[in-house]
Amino acid sequence: MDKHIYFFGADQTEGDASMKQKLGGKGANLAEMAKMGFPVPPGFTIETVLCDVYFRNGRKWPEGLEKELEDNIKKLEKATGKTLGNAQNPLLLSVRSGAAASMPGMMDTILNIGLNDDTTAALAAKIDNKRFPYDAYRRLIMMLGDVVMGVDRELFEEILTEAKKKQGVKFDSDLSADILKSMVEKYKALFKTKTGKEFPQNPREQLRLAVTAVFDSWNNPRAVTYRQLNSIRDLLGTAVNVQAMVFGNRNENSGSGVGFTRDPSTGENRFFAEYLFNAQGEDVVAGVRTPLRIDELKNRSPGIYQQLNEIREKLEKRYRDMQDIEFTVEDGKLYMLQTRSGKRTIFSHIRIAVDMVEAGLVSKEEAVLRIPPNELAKLFSPELDPKALKKAVESSLGRGLNASPGGASGKAVFSAEEAQRMVAAKPGEKVLLCRVETSPEDIGGMAVAQGVLTTRGGMTSHAAVVARGMGVPCVSGASEVTIDYAGKVLRSGKLSVKEGEWISINGFDGMIFKGKIDVIPSEIIRVLDGQMKAEDSRIYRDYAKFMGWADGFRRLKVRTNADKPADARRAMQFGAEGIGLCRTEHMFFDNINPFRRLILVSEEVKRLRGEIAALASSKNPEDERRAERIREELAHPESEYNRALAELLPFQRADFEGLFTALNGKPANIRTLDPPLHEFLPKDMAGQEEMAKELNVDVKYVREKVESLSEANPMLGHRGCRLGLIYPEVHEMQVRAIMEAAVNVKRKGIEVMPEIMIPLVGIAKELKISRERTVETADKVLAEARMTMKDIPYKVGTMIEVPRAAVTADEIAEFAEFFSFGTNDLTQMGCGFSRDDAGKFLDDYVKMGIYEEDPFKVLDTKGIGKLMKMTIELGRKAKPGLKIGICGEHGGEPQSVMFCHGAGLDYVSCSPYRVPVARLAAAQAALKDKAK
């Protein structure tokens, strides 16, 4: 068998930080710290590939692993001078997971392997602190019972709680050796009752069970969910780290801590750590006790604090990034147990990036590449309204730790399952997850909650770390609050909050309030809106500087999808370089009655046009006169059809004037009417009756029109350019509104660059006719205004959203000055999915691995991407220099932006609040492309 286990420590280290894919992040970094000369307990790492082999072997250990494991145990025994299973001098082990991508708390850990009845009794007989070995032994029984055998951890916790209650103590560290010894017997009895087996006394059997459990934890539900939420894929599995135990719970001169080399919430350059005396590391992370700030260690053990602080500084210089560290002090000696890149908020991400560039630790390119683009959207998350907070003093439920920034208000729920159920039952429902402490099983509920509140745990607890990583506001360690799970109620003093009642938290200062509190825009938004000065906002200044660096690297332009001036102005503040999609139909909803009046008579107009066509072939003079009378009737300004068009024109014109003014010279891509007409009519009886009353028509007439316009498959029906071709006056009205608005804004001294986009073209002749009509109307408006194309250089192009258009792009390009991919519809038609129905099974498709991602969320580069590349090649071959962009929702999704850069698009377009995300994604795409 090839080498699959790598030793570290005791001057025999075989790995380093570059071996993350092989050894996982934890194993590679333990090896690196050992090579740096830090005090790392010796151990070894089973490489990640064996996890993959284990699952492919039907969850059986690969041949040769047992022998290689035994060889490394002997090596570890020699390095430590201890022997596994020896009662007088036992080697005790920890077994931990560690994948190449950080997945904090998602996989399993088992500590104190090697303890049994004999070794525990022998240890107790020869050391002064009799409680220590029994405390460690009862933890091992609980971990093996919970992690390996599936015994509910709460059953063990009940025994612990009952013991503390009987002894009248608050913390488990206050329990005596005799009580802990009796608890060991109760734990073993519970283990046997629930598993039907005695607790294993053979240390090698314990080790085998623990290694297997860590392998299995790679595919536990919480780990799978975490990988899905964070788009972690293409990993073989988890490594397994077996390491000599050091004990923070040996005595009062011992302890365990977790920390960050900088503040993970704000990014401030200060040592940010927490510590518990006489405790194992799991106590800090799990929130069993609310830990102390690192200053307490500094006060009681200044020498250890100084050593730890020096290691902190060396780690930052070595990794050139903020580190998340775990350490233990055993009887006055420091040991390092972990370092990894620390999870942090986007506020911290930005500040650290700027500070490290200015300190010369990293380049601007490295800083730009480090920040996940999707995280930027969290910068604009709302905060609790300060005015409302002043009034909320009397409803204060107390204060916890400000574990993850942001304000949140929602209905209190006391389980992750209930949070998920409520949000699934009523999409948009706001819930706030309230727990004594969270565990990895709660991740699904945390993902749907507005915020998280825990009554135990510190700034490095599971709740705090995961919430920060998800951008969810969190207050942890709120010790004034008690939660009664059985009664589904939260209490603090005289106040209480029942499940379903509103509760609010402030992740900036840790305050908690009963009731609903309004939220306000983030600090950056307040600066953009002039409510706060830029010099008073550190995050705004760092954000602006960072985004300036990003813009200097990107090639792709970034536009926005906006239909209203306010949206356009916001997008410009976020750095948009124009509008990539204005949906003109959205404007109709603000003036719905004139448009509905137009729809009601449209069918009659269509019928009359059909009659004209039929009469055209007749030689009968009477038929010719009839056709002429119909034409005159249709063209008459006072006809109901033309009156409705004339009523709509000024509304549309005013909307476009607002957009052009907001853009201040930047291009505006305006799509003509796209949805089928029936979407503008009410489906329900009450709505139809109200419409009939407002338009002063018979409700029966309305119902007939709704029925006549209904379609079996409306997404493939009478919509897009097909509407404009059949109802040319509607198209002409929209073009006139666009051009008249452009003329009016130009006369104010503002440059205007209209791009008129024809939707849903599938064949070149559709665009040819639509373009001719567009140009005729646009030129007529310019002539009326005594202007030319030099004054208003408008363009005419089309959306590429029909597969036939993609494969005939060379023919369509003849009549287009630009293409814009409508990837929502292109995905729908290209994949054969109905957007309205595919949600019922696409999640399952992703879980099954049929699609890596939902193709409506992340561009399907292997399928739809090929169509896009074909379009680009054909279009630019027929018309060199053809401008091409994308305006579907994919335009603000980082992986899709990466593809667009590589495919050679000129711009992407997305919703206003995704513009910064697209800007950063485009910069990263350019930098990665340059590095190839």
| Residues 884 and 821 sit within 8 Å (Cβ to Cβ) | yes
To which residue do tokens 């706030």 refer?
A: 432
444: tokens are 């699904």
Strands (E), 318-386: 323-330, 333-341, 383-384
User: Between β-strands 495-498 and 489-492, what pairing exists: parallel, antiparallel or unpaired?
Assistant: antiparallel
Strands of the sheet containing 495-498, edge to edge, are 482-484, 489-492, 495-498
Return phi, psi of residue 533, to 5°.
Answer: -80, 140
Active-site pick, 4, 51, 434, 462? 462
**Structure letter (DSSP) for residue 227:** H
Return phi, psi of residue 277, to 5°.
Answer: -75, 145
Strand, coil or helix: what is 772?
A: helix
483: tokens are 């939660």
Q: How far is CA 724 from the centre of its chain?
A: 39
The Cα–Cα gap between 456 and 781 comes to 69
The neighbour count for residue 666, using CB atoms within 10 Å, is: 19
Q: Residue 61 is inside which H or E element, if any?
A: none
Active-site pick, 51, 434, 582, 887? 887
Question: Could you tell me which residues come within 8 angstroms of residue 607 by beta carbon, excluding any fewer than 6 positions away?
Answer: none
Strands (E), 649-788: 667-671, 753-758
Closest CA to 96 of 87, 86, 88, 104: 104
| Residues 113 and 69 sit within 8 Å (Cβ to Cβ) | no
The Cα–Cα gap between 27 and 4 comes to 13
Question: Could you tell me which residues come within 8 angstroms of residue 576 by beta carbon, excluding any fewer than 6 positions away?
Answer: 558, 559, 560, 568, 666, 912, 915
**769-777 long-range Cβ contacts below 8 angstroms, 24+ apart:** 769/725, 770/721, 770/724, 770/725, 770/731, 771/796, 771/815, 771/816, 773/724, 773/728, 773/731, 773/732, 773/735, 774/731, 774/735, 777/732, 777/735, 777/736, 777/739
Q: Which amino acid is present at 248?
A: G
Which residues, listed in sequence order, are joined to residue 511 by a DSSP beta bridge? 399
| Residues 568 and 895 sit within 8 Å (Cβ to Cβ) | no
| Residues 507 and 474 sit within 8 Å (Cβ to Cβ) | yes
Sign of the C-alpha dihedral computed for residues 914, 916, 921 and 922 taken in this order: positive
Closest CA to 172 of 114, 215, 132: 132
Q: Which amino acid is present at 588?
A: F
The Cα–Cα gap between 263 and 117 comes to 43
Q: Is 462 a catalytic residue?
A: yes
Q: Which residues are catalytic?
A: 462, 887
